[in-house]
Chains A and B, each alone.
Chain A
């Protein structure tokens, strides 16, 4: 942490992603993979087994894994949301919701770059503003997934379980079936987002050459000195 910024020649090494950001990123990543795979099976049980029921536990296992992964996901998302208020400049809510004029400008420039109009991207140590705006949307979907998931869980939670306290969510979604439908739609949003996210991170890595992919492991990005302003 001592050398948050260090320069070597014209290149500056900047500590962008703090540990909670990286950790929650990968926990959310893995839990979404697990949740989507088990969730798809729960919605469409494509594996059928024969013989006595006592010999198998396919759906039971899928549900158990789904529920534990949901705990990991929910807690990770909660920590990341907390870090939007407690973290460094790059982790903050202002990086996600583009309200400042400079962020809006960056959003526009990034859009121009993606649509082949601008030739080179505006290199920026944190999220570009367009990506940030999408992450804000993704966090809204996370909340919807957690809320619909909790609503669906209340009905099978044991009598007296504290999870029963979330049953007020059920009428908000117009019943359990609508919550289930939203839960399905949310999964597809997140998977589609994931495809686009991986692509744009690779694109940024290649075109900006600032170590975008590496940064989610190491925390550091490398920017030419004159472009390295934090905000």
Chain B
């Protein structure tokens, strides 16, 4: 069942050739490939055996799964991601209990070294892994077993990629990213963001099906096609940023005119993802597009370093350092000025007082 081809499925599902080619062209666009690439993608997607996917969910909110499920109409992407070769997905699969776990064990056994593991959620390592167990086994145990035998592991969402919210200070469960929890996995790819963009995940898998290799990655092992540019650099409000036009309060004149959200704490200048281009919910809109600053969810340690979300500078270890650094700096500069003036007055006074005794001072110099 796991190796059948997409072309039969498309026909069965009533998806037109036109829609299918449109999908392939859009994937080429997301991947930043040249025009002819759409045809190559179509050929690969149609004829190549689909990779077998295993979707594991650990310590998170199921937001990444939700993000896929909430597509407003079934697309070719849905077919690739969840209809065909997704052999195990706790939230989506019909099987339950030991039946489900058997399916997982069998897929791992039969396809060792061939399947792709997609992992959603962080791996808690505290209390011997007791914070997250499935079928009586800890997340760490499952991750080691399933990711260890995978051809590639895709960490879906910021929790899996970087630890995310569970790993935020003080990290009570000892949560780790998949890469940190199972350091020796093959071809780890981090698809961060909260949630990860379904469009990018699909594009990643299509890339692999077409070119038989994984795309170039950045230093956090994120594909450059999706994380190669700062949000700020492709933002539709950038002209207002450069001009000097900023929203100062929610709903003010500037906000209604769509000015830049920089002063409302926008983290677009510190975040790399293709949201301004790919957008969300099939290109409907994206956070900055609808007037909310970027919260930097695709970056490592985002909960600890991007908060407070509505200020420019971060807090440190729970102290409002970011809020106070500039007022305190200005104050200290003022205090220093006052101090040196006072010191100067003291020096002048002493010179005057000491004038009479200046003969005796000469000897002190040597």
* Chain A residues at the B interface, C-beta cutoff of 8 Å: 40, 43-45, 47-50, 53-60, 63, 114, 116, 118-120, 122-123, 155-156, 159, 167-168, 170-171, 174-178, 180-181, 184-185, 187-188, 191-192, 195-196, 199-200, 202-203, 207, 226-227
- Would you call B228 and A159 a contact (CB within 8 A)? yes
Given contacts A159-B229, A177-B313, contact A207 B347 (CB under 8 A): yes
Chain B residues with CB under 8 Å of A207's CB are 347, 351
Contacts of B346 in A (CB 8 A): 116
Given contacts A53-B239, A156-B269, A191-B333, contact A184 B347 (CB under 8 A): no
The contact of B243 among A55, A187, A203, A226, by CB within 8 Å, is A55
The 8 A CB mask of B251-272 against A (1 = contact, 0 = none) is 0001000000011000101101
Residues of A within 8 A of B329 (CB): 184-185, 187-188, 191-192
| Partner of A56 from B245, B313, B326 at Cβ < 8 Å | B245
Contact of B242 among A57, A191, A202 (CB under 8 A): A57
Of the candidates A53, A118, A178, A199, the one whose C-beta lies within 8 Å of that of B340 is: A199
**Which of A45, A48, A156 touches B232 (beta carbons < 8 Å)?**
A156
Give the interface SS of chain A, mostly helix, strand, loop or mixed: helix
A177 in contact with B305 (CB, 8 Å): yes
Q: Say whether A45 contacts B219, CB under 8 Å.
A: no
Q: How far is the CB of B351 from chain A (nearest CB, A)?
A: 8
Known: A175-B270, A196-B340. 13 other contacts (CB 8 A): A43-B313, A45-B244, A49-B243, A57-B244, A60-B242, A120-B361, A120-B364, A156-B232, A178-B316, A180-B270, A195-B337, A195-B340, A202-B344
Least Cβ–Cβ distance between A118 and chain B, in angstroms: 8
CB neighbors of A among B343-365 (8 A): 343-344, 346-347, 350-351, 354, 361, 364-365
CA–CA, A175 and B332, complex, Å: 27
**A90 to B219 Cα, complex, angstroms:** 43
- Total cross-chain contacts (CB, 8 A): 145
Residues on the A chain within 8 Å of B299, using CB: 175-176
The distance from the CB of A112 to the nearest CB of chain B, in whole angstroms, is 11
Q: Nearest 6 A-B pairs (CB), nearest first?
A: A188-B329, A58-B244, A60-B242, A199-B340, A56-B243, A176-B270
CB distance from B239 to the nearest CB of A (A): 4
Residues of chain A lying within 8 A (CB to CB) of residue B129: none
Judging by beta carbons under 8 Å apart, are A59 and B244 in contact? yes
Closest chain-A Cβ to B71's Cβ sits at a distance in Å of 30
**B233 on the A face (CB < 8 A):** yes
Q: Are B270 and A177 in contact (CB under 8 A)?
A: yes
Chain B residue at smallest Cβ distance from A113? B347
Task: Write the chain A residue with the least CB distance to B253.
Answer: A50
A53-B245, A155-B230, A192-B336 known; A123+B314 contact, CB < 8 A: no
Query: Are B364 and A119 within 8 A (Cβ)?
Result: yes
- In angstroms, Cα B296 to Cα A116, docked, is 53
Give per-residue flags for B321-344: 1 if the beta carbon is below 8 A from chain A beta carbons, else 0. Answer: 110011011101100110011011
Q: Max chain B CB contacts within 10 Å: which of A123, A184, A187?
A: A184
- In the complex where A120-B364, A174-B305, A195-B340 touch, is A181 in contact with B321 (Cβ < 8 A)? yes
In angstroms, Cα B350 to Cα A207, docked, is 11
In Å, the complex CA distance between A44 and B311 comes to 11
How far is it, in angstroms, between the C-alpha of A177 and the C-alpha of B26 when the chains are bound? 33
- Chain A nearest CB, measured from B269 CB (Å): 7
In the bound assembly, the distance between CA atoms of A196 and B336 in angstroms comes to 7
| Inter-subunit contact B244/A177 (CB<8 Å) | no
Which of B229, B246, B305, B325 touches A184 (beta carbons < 8 Å)? B325
